[in-house]
């Protein structure tokens, strides 16, 4: 199936590694062009090279908490590739820990990056997109139920899902779609770090795998393909939804 991605241009934040990079790779493979951001110049440069060089990708050093970052990213898309068709907002995982251990400074820092930064990027994109544009958020299964030991994610990501659904209602009449992706146990560095917190990463992986109907962790490629479809014109009648990418782990409707 042709997803209609050829020559379309997307901005992906936090996309020098992990799930964001996996999505960028799938978009580029189907003919799109991407602007990827990250906080370190060396990682941004490495990601652009891995994505096929500057004919296919362009890198911008930016932090999601930077108020000037969203406009810089969109301007880069237009200046480098001549158009701007959508954005995927992805941020690094907030600090792990129980509710009684996360202090005010950690909450404030996570709010600035995970919540306010994401909202600012989406709001800026909404002002710049036309009909056919799309705004995607990489969230988490914590949108639906708390994940033990990840209170910051449990607190902030459901709020972002609410913002995304509200924006879908507001922007739908302009032909702009807004949606979220809810990864669970995808085999990334972040998930391996979380498994290691249990003290026995292999046992943690086996335990989590046993709770997934497919009995395995997902791959970044599987997540990337799902996201590429949802961002593409092929998904033109999908908006306001939160899509679990979790091997069937979430059993609710």
Burial class (CB in 10 A: 0-12, 13-18, 19+), 147: middle
Contact in structure between 136 and 179 (CB atoms under 8 Å): yes
Residue entry with tokens 């509200």: 166
For position 253, what pLDDT does the model report? 62
Residue 7 gets which letter from DSSP? T
Residue 155 is inside which H or E element, if any? helix 151-171
CB neighbours of residue 153 within 10 Å: 22
Nearest-CA neighbor of 129 among 80, 85, 79? Answer: 85
Measure the CA–CA gap between 3 and 237, rounded to whole angstroms.
13
The strand pairing partners of 58, in sequence order, are 35
Measure the CA–CA gap between 64 and 163, rounded to whole angstroms.
17
Would you write out the chain's pLDDT as a tens digit for each of its 253 residues? Answer: 899 999 999 999 999 999 999 999 999 999 999 999 999 999 999 999 999 999 999 999 999 999 999 999 999 999 999 999 999 999 777 788 889 999 999 999 999 999 999 999 999 999 999 999 999 999 998 898 888 888 999 999 999 999 999 999 999 999 999 999 999 988 888 888 888 877 888 988 888 888 889 999 999 999 999 999 999 999 999 999 999 999 988 876 6
| Fold exhibited by the domain 9-188+221-240 | Rossmann fold (3.40.50)
Measure the CA–CA gap between 146 and 155, rounded to whole angstroms.
8
Domain regions of the chain by residue span: 9-188+221-240
pTM of the model: 0.94
Measure the CA–CA gap between 221 and 23, rounded to whole angstroms.
8
């Amino acid at each position: 199936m042709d997803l209609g991605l050829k020559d379309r241009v997307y901005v992906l934040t936090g996309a020098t590694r992990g799930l964001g990079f996996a999505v960028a790779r799938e978009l580029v493979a189907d003919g799109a062009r991407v602007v990827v951001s990250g906080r370190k110049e060396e990682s941004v440069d490495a990601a652009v090279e891995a994505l096929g060089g500057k004919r296919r990708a362009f890198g911008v050093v930016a932090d999601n908490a930077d108020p000037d970052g969203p406009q810089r990213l969109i301007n880069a898309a237009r200046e480098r590739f001549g158009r701007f068709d959508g954005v995927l907002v992805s941020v690094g995982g907030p600090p792990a820990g129980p509710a009684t251990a996360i202090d005010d400074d950690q909450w404030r820092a996570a709010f600035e990056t995970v919540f306010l930064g994401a909202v600012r990027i989406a709001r800026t994109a909404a002002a710049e997109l036309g009909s056919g544009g799309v705004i995607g958020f990489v969230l988490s299964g914590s949108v639906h139920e708390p994940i033990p030991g990840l209170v910051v994610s449990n607190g902030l990501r459901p709020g972002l899902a609410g913002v995304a659904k509200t924006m879908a209602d507001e922007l739908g009449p302009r032909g702009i779609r807004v949606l979220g992706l809810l990864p669970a146990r995808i085999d990334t560095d972040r998930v391996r770090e979380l498994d290691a917190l249990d003290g026995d990463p292999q046992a943690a992986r086996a335990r989590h795998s046993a709770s997934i109907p497919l009995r395995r962790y997902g791959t970044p490629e599987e997540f990337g393909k799902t996201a590429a479809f949802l961002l593409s014109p092929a998904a033109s009648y999908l908006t306001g939804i939160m899509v679990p990418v979790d091997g069937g782990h979430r059993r609710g409707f």
